[in-house]
Amino acid sequence: MNQEKEGKTELRHEPEPGYRRIFYVVFFMAVLYLVIIMGATL
């Protein structure tokens, strides 16, 4: 029969350089867009 491993299995990888900056830029643009939309509706 199959034996189950004890504990949790964790998949790890090294982050790709540049993706964190792109994430923050896109996130900032989305927040800015929502602020502009909310400001236009007031």
Establish if 2 belongs to a structural domain.
Answer: no
pLDDT of 2: 55
The CA-to-CA distance between both ends of the chain, in Å, stands at 66
3-state SS assignment for residue 4: coil
Establish if 30 belongs to a structural domain.
Answer: yes
Q: Between 25 and 3, where is the model more confident?
A: 25
pLDDT of 4: 60
Q: Between 23 and 6, where is the model more confident?
A: 23
Per-residue pLDDT tens digits for 7-40: 788 888 887 888 999 999 999 999 999 999 999 9
What are the b/e assignments for 12-41, b being 16+ CB within 10 Å? eeeeeeeeeeeeeeeeeeeeeeeeeeeeee
Establish if 4 belongs to a structural domain.
Answer: no
Give the whole-angstrom CA distance, residue 34 versus residue 26.
Answer: 12
Number of domains in the chain: 1
Q: Give the range of the structural domain holding residue 25, as residue numbers without chain letter.
A: 17-42
